[in-house]
Structure formats: C-alpha cells, structure tokens
C-alpha cells in the first residue's frame, strides 16, 4: 500500500527561535526510527527567499523552498514558530513581521492542520487564524496576545492547546510536547511515547500540564501580600477561610478579594487551591506517599477533593500525574 505523504511545512524568518524550528523537526524525524513503514512525513523549511535565515541563536538555517513555491500545494501541517525582542529591563515582546503573516494566511488556506510554537501564536493571531479559538503561548507574552487580539481566547496555563484543527503551544521546550501530540494524533500514543524515550524526555506531557507553578509566580507588589502568601504556605494543611486571611491583612473580606485580583489576578480561594495543587504535584513527583496522606498534608482533606482540584487545574488525576511525572523509583 502506498505511503500517504504528510507535508509538514515549518515557517522561517529572521531571528526566529531556533528550538521552535529544530525541536518539532527532530520529533518528526525520530518517529521513523520507531516505525517499520515510512511515516510519510516530509519536513520542508520555507521562507521568503532561499537565502540563509539567521535564527535568534545566531545559527543560520537554509530554507528548502520559498513561500511562493508552496502557495498552491496541499499541506498537511503548517508549523509557525515565533520571535521575540527583549528590552533593557528584560521585558519580552513577540515580534510579528507583516510579510510573514500574509504568507501564513496564504499557506493556511490549503492546510489540514495548523500549529504555532511558543510566540508563533502571535503570527497566527495576526493572520486571523485564532479568532474564536482557545489558544496558548509562552507565559511572558500571553498578556500581549490577549491585549492585541481580544477575539482570541487566551489561556496562558497549558503547555499546548488543541482547538479543532488549530494547535498552539507554549515555549520553549514545550515545542517537543506539541510535536509529540501531533505524532500521537497521527499514529497513536504508543509511538509518541517511544519517540519521547528517544529524546530522553522523562515522559510526554499531557496538554493540561501547566506552564506555571505557584512557587514561580512573580514577587508580590506589597509586603502585605508577601505576608499573606507566607501565611498560606505555613497553614496549607489546615482549613483557611477568607475571613481569616482578611483578619491577617487587617482588611475587610471584600478588600481582600480586590487585593488578590489586583496583585495576583486571581481570587483568594483559587490561589490557595493553586498552592495546594503545587504542593501535591511535588509530593507525587518525588515521594511514594499514598494519595490520602498527600491530600491531608496539602489541605485537601479527602482524596476526592484532591482529584477534583487536579481535574480543574491540570485536566488529569493525581494517579495519572504520578504515573507520568514521578522522578523516584
């Protein structure tokens, strides 16, 4: 039986992030090692001209074809990476070239499946390809994406999102998870996991895996919020009420809710749950403690409550999370 060709087109432009380009290409190439038959994947790097493209790492990459060459070709998967600029204060902004946006629009018209890597979501959004879609990008530019494209349903938490035929991924190493998910979509989870092992990845991460952890959130803007966060950490195994936190901060319940919204863009209850989930994740990854012990130590009280929180935050169960991410034998 003839092999179906799956033309995978990866977009190139000046200062593109190198890993956004090489990561997915490596995943697609490694799949062939795990299969007896040809995968049908043919990866083509495409740019405005055939001149070398200088990536963000300074490495020059040669395109295989021009945008014009593929304008009328049927494409299986269009992969759009991104580029950023960093200011003197280390602030990060996604950079979008209008000419690239115009060509992405043209190529997308004949494409079965579209995927952005990291801040490549900004290119898709500028092309109108994310309108009405739920999408993610690197956490550092998620607010920029939401502000510039209110028609896009930006969710900065997951490492990748699939919404119909449009896939968006966080960065930078999440490009591997996104590419593995595309492989799983075509050939099944078993082969995707075998490719993950070839990459010496611990395990392929599910889409619900978060980019964030409560411990890595930005520092609080006020000492009062810092004090509240430390108080929550100390008392995490115990019930914590809004009234209790308000008393600690010497404000009313309503004022406390406003403070959390202003400084952390969340509610007190949601923040407490995030901290508890983060602590539970750490125990699941690094210990063999039973789930009921972890639930009690992290303030969930029961395994049912722990399960519901994991479903809400990570779209998985504690048991499944441990199976994927446990780092001890």
Query: Residue 88: helix, strand or coil by DSSP?
Result: coil
Hey, which residues does 166 pair with through a beta bridge? 114, 163
Nearest-angstrom CA–CA distance, 74 and 110: 5
Q: Which two tokens stand for residue 304?
A: 């049912």
Query: Residue 247: helix, strand or coil by DSSP?
Result: helix
CB 299 within 8 A of CB 236: yes
Give the Å distances, CA to CA, from 329 to 146, 198, 287, 288, 326. Answer: 42, 20, 9, 9, 8
Nearest-angstrom CA–CA distance, 315 and 67: 38
Catalytic, 298? Answer no
Q: Which two tokens stand for residue 301?
A: 């009280």
Please state the φ and ψ torsions of residue 327, each to the nearest 5 degrees: -110, 10
CA angle at residue 61 from 89 to 182, to 5 degrees?
A: 85
Nearest-angstrom CA–CA distance, 17 and 233: 37
CA angle at residue 295 from 290 to 296, to 5 degrees?
A: 100
Q: What is the Cα gyration radius of the chain?
A: 22
Nearest-angstrom CA–CA distance, 222 and 13: 42
Q: Which is nearest to 20 in space by CA: 135, 192, 168?
A: 168
- Within 13 Å, how many C-alpha atoms sit on residue 300's CB side? 25
- Exactly one of 118, 175, 298, 329 is catalytic; which is it? 118
The catalytic residues are 118
């Amino acid at each position: 039986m003839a092999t179906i060709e799956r033309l995978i087109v990866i977009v190139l432009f000046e200062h593109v992030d190198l890993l956004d380009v090489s990561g997915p290409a490596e995943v697609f190439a490694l799949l062939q090692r795990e299969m007896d038959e040809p995968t049908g994947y043919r990866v083509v790097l495409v740019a405005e001209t055939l001149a070398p493209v200088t990536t963000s790492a300074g490495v020059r990459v040669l395109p295989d074809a021009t945008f014009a060459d593929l304008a009328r070709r049927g494409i299986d998967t269009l992969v759009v990476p991104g580029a950023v600029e960093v200011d003197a204060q280390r602030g990060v902004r996604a950079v979008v070239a209008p000419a690239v946006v115009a060509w992405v629009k043209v190529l997308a018209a004949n494409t079965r499946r579209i995927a952005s890597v990291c801040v490549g979501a900004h290119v898709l959004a500028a092309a109108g390809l994310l309108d009405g879609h739920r999408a993610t990008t690197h956490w550092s530019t998620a607010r920029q994406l939401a502000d510039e494209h209110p028609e896009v349903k930006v969710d900065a938490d997951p490492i990748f999102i699939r919404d119909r035929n449009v896939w968006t991924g966080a960065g930078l190493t999440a490009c591997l998870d996104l590419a593995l998910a595309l492989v799983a979509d075509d050939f099944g989870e078993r082969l995707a996991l075998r490719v993950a092992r070839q990459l010496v990845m611990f395990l392929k991460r599910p889409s619900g895996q978060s980019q964030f952890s409560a411990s890595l959130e930005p520092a609080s803007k006020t000492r009062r919020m810092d004090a509240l966060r430390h108080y929550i950490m100390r008392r995490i195994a115990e019930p914590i009420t809004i009234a209790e936190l308000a008393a600690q901060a010497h404000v009313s319940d309503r004022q406390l809710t406003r403070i959390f919204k202003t400084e952390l863009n969340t509610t007190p209850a949601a923040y407490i749950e995030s901290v508890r989930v983060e602590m539970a994740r750490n125990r699941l990854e690094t210990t063999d403690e039973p789930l009921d012990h972890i639930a009690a130590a992290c303030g969930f009280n029961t395994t049912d409550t722990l399960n519901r929180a994991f479903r809400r935050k990570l779209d998985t169960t504690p048991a499944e999370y441990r199976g994927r991410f446990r780092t001890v034998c």
